[in-house]
Structure 1
Amino acid sequence: MPATTARSTDTRRNILDAAQRIMAHKGYSAVGLNEVLAEAGVPKGSFYHYFSSKDAFGEALLKSYFAEYLDDMDRVLAQPDQSAAERLMAYWQLWRETQSFDECQGKCLAVKLGAEVSDLSEPMRLALKEGTGAIIGRLEGTITSGLTDGSIAVDDTPHETAQVLYDMWLGASVMAKIHRSLEPLEATTTVTRRLLHL
């Protein structure tokens, strides 16, 4: 890769990383591009060299976030020395830990930006849909593995169970933010164990 291309990729990555840190706290609409560029150490006039519009930037931000999230999720769900049930519960424990930061303000962009940007930007809504769909797909696969290894039992299909679990955890994360309390996540952990017959 030529040096200029590598620098361009690094700068683009720095902008996305800075945006993720800031927007995890403030949301999308409350953050100006100048704030992101200052945090990334990039000159103000160069934003459009890396992104064609704020919409394209938001879409790239979400795609980058979900790529990293799914890599982390894959690491948790791929532990060969654990049953599928243990891997799933380790994933939910990690979710609980990431949502406990900053008085339950969390670090999940799907929680922070989901409702806000879905009405603002169709490309961002579709990036959220694709990313959350991939998460649900991984949950479904692990539930299916649990049915095979006998560590999990479900009353509905693996897909329906995965969808309900994800929706429930997403809602609990929003409630944890509202109440500044982990109680919604603790209750959801209990219900998760019940749904999986653990």
Structure 2
Amino acid sequence: MMEKPFDNTREHLLATGESIMLGKGFAAVGLAEILGSAGVPKGSFYHYFDSKEGYGVALLERFFATYLSGLDAIVADASLNGRAKLDAYFAGWDRVAEHGSCESRCLVVKLTGEVSDLSEAMRTQLERGIAGIMERLAACIVIGRADRSIPPGRPAEQLAAALYQLWLGAALVAKVQHSRSPFQAARQSSDALLAPVIH
């Protein structure tokens, strides 16, 4: 017997909501729309989530679990030196930009400005997830300095934060401009941050 694609109702609700919220945001989407699209009764929703806010937290937890798993694979890839690991991460942003708006593919880009003022629980989840991203970028920098593909310089944690903020900022500006040029600028700035310092 073939297994249904969404045998897990909780996962089905999260996948459905993510698809809708990537287009409309959090506040503009009501539970009725999510439940209608998912074909799930209201009682089932409250079996898994205590509120829409709790659902939003779970949505972000799910997103970051997948995102960080992808980053962990890059960090663990022994075929890549530290700089190549960062380049692989940057290439992920480039691929998203090639296929359209980042906000239509990334919950961080879509929801950060909106929910940070609406929900402390969701803001905390965003903060935790972003910290996880920067920790992994810092790990790539430490590896790169050990294998000499990245020159010494500012502390790895500071450099990782600067790089992530560059790319997240580029995604937000690209959203306004409907242009890929902010990503090109982010790549150039990243290369400059990772270049050897010439005295």
* TM-score, scaled relative to structure 1: 0.91
SS in 2 for 1:156: coil
Structure (1 or 2) with the greater helix fraction: 1
Among all aligned residue pairs of Structure 1 and Structure 2, give the percentage whose two residues are the same amino acid: 42
Letter in 1 for 2:166: M
State the alpha-carbon separation in 2 of the partners of residues 40 and 50 from structure 1: 14
Alignment correspondent of 1:3: none
Letter in 2 for 1:82: L
Unmatched segments (≥5 aa) in structure 2: 1-5
Letter in 2 for 1:134: G
> CA offsets per residue over residues 51-102 of structure 1, 9 Å max, x none?
0011111111111110011011212332211111011101111122124433
SS in 1 for 2:100: helix
State the alpha-carbon separation in 2 of the partners of residues 115 and 122 from structure 1: 13
> CA offsets per residue over residues 1-38 of structure 1, 9 Å max, x none?
xxxxx96xx10011111111111111111111111122
State the alpha-carbon separation in 1 of the partners of residues 101 and 135 from structure 2: 30
Contact 1:154-1:161 at 8 Å conserved across structures: no
Alignment correspondent of 1:41: 39
Letter in 1 for 2:161: Q
Letter in 1 for 2:133: I
State the alpha-carbon separation in 2 of the partners of residues 31 and 194 from structure 1: 41
Contact 1:176-1:185 at 8 Å conserved across structures: yes
Please state if 1:84 is matched with 2:86.
no
Alignment correspondent of 1:111: 109
Alignment correspondent of 1:152: 150
1:46-65 to 2 correspondences below 5 Å? 46-65=44-63
Contact 2:102-2:109 at 8 Å conserved across structures: no
Letter in 1 for 2:164: Y
* TM-score, scaled relative to structure 2: 0.90
Alignment correspondent of 1:71: 69
Distance 1:145 1:123, change over 3 A: same
State the alpha-carbon separation in 2 of the partners of residues 105 and 63 from structure 1: 17
| Alignment length (residue pairs) | 191
Distance 1:77 1:139, change over 3 A: same
Letter in 2 for 1:76: I
Alignment correspondent of 1:131: 129
State the alpha-carbon separation in 2 of the partners of residues 183 and 106 from structure 1: 18
Task: Report which stretch shifted further, 74-83 or 176-185.
Answer: 74-83
